Amino acid sequence: MRILLVEDETSIANFIKEGLEEEGFAVDVAHDGKTGLQMAIDYLTEYDVILLDWMLPGLNGIEICRSVRKESPTIPIIFLTAKDTIDDAVFGLEAGANDYIRKPFAFEELLARIRVLMRNKQGDGSIFKCGDIELNVESHRVTKKGINIDLTRKEFSLLEFLLRNKGKVSRRTRIIEKVWDIHFDYDNSVIDVYINFLRKKLDEPGTESFIETIRGVGYRVNEEL
């Protein structure tokens, strides 16, 4: 599961990022409002939750929240705010946030709120289907024709990434960045190895693979499936 964190205070951003990564989340951080909005809009389908600071350089959290809501009515947004009057909290929720948490907060409280939103989201944003293959982000399970398929953590992340981008070409550079969390030019042939693992475990024998190779560019799971 991937979280976008928009927070300009480096120490708070690091504290949240490290904590969430220990819990198995992947976390992208933006340190100003404009970058945060750009990342949210560009990669909206890749995020499960957005954590949004209120006071940010560039654009503030409220403005970001409104813009993101226009693009996606469902993505969970939690405000991180030092403001502590009831009015401010209501203002945040009216802008389209699902929840807010006041700084300073205990990490466990943030984690609990994220989990509640993930649970509420189940049934729409956390299940991805492709033909008879079903991936459930919340329970971390993949089934084919209703039968459980054992995937390693990396195989699961790769499949999740491809299914979230169903119908679009997933470029190799994006895959290595998002699934392997590697942000420099790296030998990305490891992707092909894992695509093969997925094909072996999930393809129907004797038919074309559900993962299409776009030579030199990346991979795609077709929309019709």
Closest CA to 5 of 41, 50, 71: 50
Cβ of residue 103: shortest distance to Ca ion, in angstroms? 9
The tokens for 203 are 């393809």
Query: Where does the chain show beta strands of DSSP type E?
Result: 2-6, 26-30, 49-53, 77-81, 99-102, 127-130, 133-136, 141-144, 147-149, 170-171, 211-214, 218-221
Q: Which is nearer to Ca ion, 8 or 203 (CB)?
A: 8
Distance of CA 132 to the CA centre of its chain: 23
Q: Exposed e or buried b for every residue in 164-176, given b needs 16+ CB within 10 A?
A: bbbeeebebbebb
Cβ of residue 79: shortest distance to Ca ion, in angstroms? 11
**Is residue 225 involved in binding Ca ion (CB under 5 A)?**
no
Cβ of residue 48: shortest distance to Ca ion, in angstroms? 23
Residue 199 parent element (H or E): helix 190-202
- Residues 6 or more apart whose Cβ sits within 8 Å of residue 221: 130, 162, 163, 165, 166, 167, 210, 211, 212
**Is residue 117 involved in binding Ca ion (CB under 5 A)?**
no
Alpha-carbon Rg of the chain, whole angstroms? 18
> Measured between alpha carbons, how far is 33 from 4 in angstroms, rounded to an integer?
12
Closest CA to 219 of 156, 155, 167: 167
Q: Which is nearer to Ca ion, 27 or 56 (CB)?
A: 56
**Is residue 53 involved in binding Ca ion (CB under 5 A)?**
yes
**Is residue 55 involved in binding Ca ion (CB under 5 A)?**
yes
**Is residue 8 involved in binding Ca ion (CB under 5 A)?**
yes
Cβ of residue 52: shortest distance to Ca ion, in angstroms? 10
Q: Which is nearer to Ca ion, 6 or 158 (CB)?
A: 6
**Is residue 212 involved in binding Ca ion (CB under 5 A)?**
no
**Is residue 63 involved in binding Ca ion (CB under 5 A)?**
no
Q: Which is nearer to Ca ion, 11 or 74 (CB)?
A: 11
Q: Point out which span in 33-41, 55-63, 104-112, 175-183 binds Ca ion (CB under 5 A).
A: 55-63
Cβ of residue 2: shortest distance to Ca ion, in angstroms? 22
Number of residues that bind Ca ion (CB under 5 A): 3
Q: Point out which span in 3-11, 14-22, 90-98, 103-111 binds Ca ion (CB under 5 A).
A: 3-11
Cβ of residue 70: shortest distance to Ca ion, in angstroms? 23
Q: Which residues bind Ca ion (CB under 5 A)?
A: 8, 53, 55
